[in-house]
Amino acid sequence: MPILRSSFHPPWYLGNGHLQTILPALLPRRIALTYQRERLELADGDFLDLDWARAGHSRLAILSHGLEGSSSNDCIRGMAAALRAAGWDALAWNFRGCGGEPNRLPRFYHSGETGDLRTVITHAAPAYQTIALVGFSLGGNMTLKYLGEAAAHPTVKAAAALSVPVDLSASARELDRRWGNSIYLRRFMERLTAKINAKAARFPDAIAPIPAEPVRTFAEFDGRYTAPLHGFRDADDYWRRSSARPFLPGIKVPTLLINARNDPFLGPECYPFADAHLNPAFFLETPRSGGHVGFLDLARGLQPWTERRIPEFLAAPGRAA
């Protein structure tokens, strides 16, 4: 029954979920980390940009970012630096179109796209004895789905996922309908609209541009663009088939999911207690606070608690502590 009591205890004045979510964006950190970029060509004619932080270790952590994120996000760079200090090389890969250059095809990425992650793992595995996967938000959903839908690559020995909408429908509902989430929704829609309009200019026969009346919700965006571009019938079909939650029982390697109970992006269905009760490889930690990819406790300045907790778990992934 690997449901864990969390050690995350922020000061009382950092207990608000919105504050935990927004503060890291307002207080950027100086992170001593230099990447080496590699372009990975894909079988369908597209490419992925991989950013490596190597230190000659025999273990590799592969980091997957969130929606409209990239390897340059502070949360990714900070985790890569923390893992490298703990004895891991790190590989932060950019989803299609997220590495600073548009990808070549009309399609881009989505929450359930595990094929690209599988390709990255297969590409990296020959140089390492052990691989761990670390996913943030959308990248966490992708990571958990990869682990549960089929056998993981034999070098993958552990995983951790943070602030994950394991039920995409529930998360979309929270973002679309909760008034307090309007600031996040607007920011996501602005970025996604810009990406779609740029793609429509390059692929006018495949993609219609966003109309003058802006897209305002994930239900509308995913129904109009994400679903048809990636082979789904509609938004509901995309959310159902791409959510990680149905695949959690299939996870076989020790895996930690950390979802704060005050995460403004997550609905009740995103806290899979029953799955953790039934699967001895699936560890669930639900701190009372933390927001969405926040988890600031000021114990080490602006370094989030998760940059200590996740390396700790990966060092001894079978231990429920």
| Catalytic annotation, pick one of 70, 137, 169, 243 | 137
- The mean pLDDT value of the chain amounts to 95
User: Same domain, yes or no, for 173 and 255?
Assistant: no
Phi, psi of 37 (to 5 degrees): -90, 140
Question: Which residues, at least 6 apart from 94, have a Cβ–Cβ distance to it below 8 Å?
Answer: 48, 49, 50, 51, 65, 70, 71, 100
Angle formed at CA 64 by CA 61 and CA 67, multiple of 5 degrees: 165
Q: Is residue 205 predicted with pLDDT exceeding 80?
A: yes
User: Same domain, yes or no, for 155 and 42?
Assistant: yes
| Catalytic annotation, pick one of 65, 110, 230, 292 | 292
Evaluate whether residue 175 is within a structural domain.
Answer: yes
Lowest mean pLDDT, pick from 26-30, 129-133, 282-286, 295-299: 26-30
- Specify the pLDDT at position 212: 66
User: Same domain, yes or no, for 143 and 277?
Assistant: yes
- Specify the pLDDT at position 321: 47
The per-residue pLDDT for range 29-85, each reduced to its tens digit, is 999 999 999 999 999 999 999 999 999 999 999 999 999 999 999 999 999 999 999
Would you call 305 helix, strand, or coil by DSSP? Answer: coil
User: Same domain, yes or no, for 104 and 127?
Assistant: yes
- From CA 297, how far away is CA 279, in angstroms rounded? 30
Lowest mean pLDDT, pick from 114-123, 192-201, 212-221, 260-269: 212-221
Evaluate whether residue 321 is within a structural domain.
Answer: no
User: Same domain, yes or no, for 201 and 155?
Assistant: no
From residue 236, how far is each of 106, 223, 284 by CA, in Å? Answer: 21, 8, 26
The range of the structural domain enclosing residue 289 comes to 3-167+243-315
Instruction: Return the CATH number at 269.
Output: 3.40.50.1820
User: Same domain, yes or no, for 177 and 111?
Assistant: no
User: Same domain, yes or no, for 232 and 116?
Assistant: no
Pick left, alpha or beta for residue 50 (phi over 0 → left; psi -120 to 50 → alpha; otherwise beta): beta
Domain boundary among 204, 226, 242: 242
Is-catalytic flag, 263?
Answer: yes
Evaluate whether residue 76 is within a structural domain.
Answer: yes
Number of domains in the chain: 2
Domain boundary among 222, 242, 262: 242
Domain boundary among 198, 224, 242: 242
User: Same domain, yes or no, for 216 and 136?
Assistant: no
Strands 36-41 and 156-162, how do they pair?
A: unpaired
| Catalytic annotation, pick one of 89, 222, 263, 297 | 263
Please tell me the pTM assigned to this model.
0.96
Q: Between 180 and 214, where is the model more confident?
A: 180
Q: Which residues make beta-bridge pairs with 63?
A: 92, 134
